[in-house]
Structure 1
């Protein structure tokens, strides 16, 4: 019998045993990090957050949860394993209960879990389903190829077109995208009009550029009945949308012209574009608010101001995630630090600005001509 070769592991070259296996575990963790996201998507598709939300008691026993789901009964054991990882990830609370049977686990929603209930007014369900849709995920498999070619984005490498063009051709993707933006606008408009309504006070007119189906503009128009609000977005986005007394929709291109108004709102828009495009957009905004000399005219930007100082690990990681997302999806897209924002404002001819850090990882930025 041929003797087996003994492989010697050199642990003297920068590693001791503990360091080696700690590094090994870290790579495992990062390799399988996608499992958190895909388990979350599975839970949403099965309707688990909705079942827990609609349950009459604070906690729902695992056996009752499994029996209520549209699954093959032979696979009920897997629900407990799914709930374990999502409890560890912070979407469910768990406790042990005994309801005239052997002890078992029971679950309830955390605050993060509540935002995954489909009919919650601030639900992030569509945002998650959009981000994890196979069409969107395909881009990430082409990231290394993109670094080696001359395509504008990894999305273009994967699909041969920009995300905006693909959405105009793909009704499912367009539906997911519009609903994701709608849910985000509900969150932002609710916060703005509850605590920071003064941002919009004194304005007679406002244009929401890239405002989608008008969720944010509708909320502003309802809060300020005397203000004339306009949503400017691509024709396929606003097609068929009905105007109201003080809310109008215009299909157009923000690079060509923006309707005149006292204020222009850019929510979650500029991070989609490179510096040159941002300056072009901002110059069009400046043209739109120039005119009769009325005081208080401004551009209102709701976007991220990157700051890694004094931030917890998850906040920094989220900022880095979103910056990479912009790089993959949008030509020149990026999240920007304050000095990078200021450079854009000055290049577009604005003279002053104010940053209000009030929306979690995002800020409200006012810029003035």
Structure 2
């Protein structure tokens, strides 16, 4: 009779031990981010890639632009990154030295590649961005942006000089990745389109990729005047400065990637109504590329979108990710009674919406 209570105690002890491990894991989860930041800043993936073969820690150290580079510290970093599958380690059969090579993960850290996440790593780990997370509890207590609470200015005010360049490069790298996923698999969403307006298009990467893939389309990259002033020239693309809360240029299609998640429902409705006025009453449509929360769907992808949801909480006054039901309500209030959500090979989804 005493066996059952003892088993119950053992189960509870095992669960408590696992709970302890979980809390320690989440407490120090930032270590992965900082190690990743370090690898990008040192250009470790680029160093290995430039040699075309796995390298020893001594060979990597020689390529780091510092005469005082610490081999022991680098060895410890590489051991951790290998354990996280960001790099791989093999043993040289002749010397017995460890050789460090790239994995499918570290290939995304190559700064020389068009398809890279290195700029996003740099942006997410900027001191001003990390500081916003330290104010998350204040966001819940008082509302508002953790970014502003931590830094004394908004995320958008930060966009000057080096910070602006970092922001633009990070947004551009995401645009290239997402647009490749869309244009490789869903080219037909742009069939029959004569003109497209990319609202909040930054320096114009997304619309440039669309026009490159569909040369018959006339592209307009629409963003704030100071943003488009720094945009490079692309064939078939016109840069136009303005404010999406006032008026949006006319086009067959209005395209918005990772824009609406920055704003409250009220402001999103204002943007959507301006989109509604900018397209043809019967033939026009909008294409939204944004996160869709899926609590009952793909758990791995939903975790990514939920992280972005908390990022919006930490860094913007009212931004958030939305479920399909929330998107439907928002679109309806903005004048778009029909919509279709298309899953793409990305953490974002493609939403086609049509006027009522």
Aligned partner of 1:52 among 43, 48, 52: 48
Distance in 1, matches of 2:235 and 2:98, equals: 53
Which one of the candidate residues 32, 39, 43 is aligned to 2:39? Answer: 43
Instruction: Summarize the Cα distance change of 1:244–1:360 in structure 2 as closer, same or farther, 3 Å threshold.
Output: closer
Match of 2:311 in 1: 325
Structure 1 residues 26 and 251: alpha-carbon distance in aligned structure 2, compared to 1, 3 A threshold: same
Residue in 2 that maps onto 1:208: 198
Q: Residues 166-177 of structure 1 correspond to what in structure 2 (within 5 A)?
A: 166-167=158-159, 170-177=160-167
Q: Look up the match of 2:170.
A: 180
Aligned to 1:75: 70
1:118 aligns with 2:111: yes
What does 1:325-344 correspond to in 2, within 5 Å? Answer: 325-344=311-330
- Name the structure 1 match of 2:181: 191
Q: 1:3: which partner in 2? A: none
Tell whether 2:353 aligns with 1:364: no
Question: Residue 31 of structure 1 is aligned with which of 27, 33, 50?
Answer: 27
Matches within 5 A, 1:207-356: 207-241=197-231, 243=233, 246-290=236-280, 293=282, 295=283, 297-312=284-299, 314-356=300-342
Deviations 1:249-269 (A, max 9, x none): 111110100000000000011
1:245: Cα distance to partner? Answer: 5.4
Post-superposition Cα deviations, 1:316-368, rounded to whole Å, max 9, x if no partner, equal 43222111001111222111111110011111121211111013221111000
Deviation at 1:302, TM superposition (A): 0.5
Q: 1:92 and 1:74, CA in 2 relative to 1: closer, same or farther beyond 3 A?
A: closer
Aligned ranges 1:134-153 → 2 under 5 Å: 134-149=127-142, 152-153=144-145
Deviation at 1:72, TM superposition (A): 5.3
2:116 partner SS: coil
Q: Which residue of 2 aligns with 1:64?
A: 59
SS of alignment partner, residue 264 of structure 1: strand
Q: Compute the displacement of 1:188 (Å).
A: 1.7
CA separation of 1:94 and 1:274: change in aligned 2, threshold 3 A: same
Partner SS, residue 81 of structure 2: helix
**Alpha-carbon distance in 1 for matches of 2:235, 2:14:** 68
Q: Name which one, 1 or 2, has greater alpha-carbon Rg.
A: 1
Structure-2 residue corresponding to 1:21:
17
Q: 1:73 to 1:144 in 2, by over 3 A?
A: same
Deviation at 1:180, TM superposition (A): 0.6
Task: Give the whole-Å Cα distance in 2 for the aligned partners of 1:74 and 1:200.
Answer: 51
Return the offset for 1:92.
Answer: 1.0
| Structure-1 separation of matches of 2:10 and 2:137 | 29
TM-score when normalising by structure 1: 0.88
Cα distance in 2, alignment partners of residues 211 and 116 from structure 1: 24
Pick closer, same or farther for the CA change 1:94–1:216 going to 2, 3 Å. Answer: same
Deviations 1:217-271 (A, max 9, x none): 1112222222211011011111154555521111111010000000000001111
Distance 1:17 1:71 in 2: 49
User: Which of residues 78, 86, 89 is equivalent to 1:91?
Assistant: 86
Q: Secondary structure at the match of 1:164?
A: coil
Report the equivalent of 2:4.
none
Sort the Cα spacing of 1:149 and 1:113 in 2 relative to 1 into closer, same or farther, 3 A: same
Q: Structure 1 residues 240, 323: CA separation in 2 closer, same or farther (over 3 Å shift)? A: closer
DSSP 3-state at the match of 1:359? coil
CA positional deviation for 1:309? 2.6
Return 352-361 or 250-259, whichever deviates more. 352-361
Unaligned runs of 5+ in 2: 1-7
CA displacement at 1:171 relative to structure 2: 1.3
Q: Tell me if structure 2 keeps the 8 A contact 1:130–1:177.
A: yes
Structure 1 contact 61–97 (Cα < 8 Å) conserved: no
Q: Which runs of 5+ in 1 are unaligned?
A: 1-11
Residues 77 and 346 of structure 1: CA distance in aligned 2, closer, same or farther (over 3 Å)? same
Q: For each residue in 1:85-137, what CA deviation from the matched residue of structure 2 results, as whole angstroms up to 9, or x when unmatched?
A: 112222112222233x2x22212111121110101111111111001000111
Q: How far apart, CA to CA, are the structure 2 residues paired with 1:338 and 1:224?
A: 29
The structural deviation recorded for 1:14 is 11
**Paired residue total:** 348
State the superposition RMSD in angstroms. Answer: 2.1
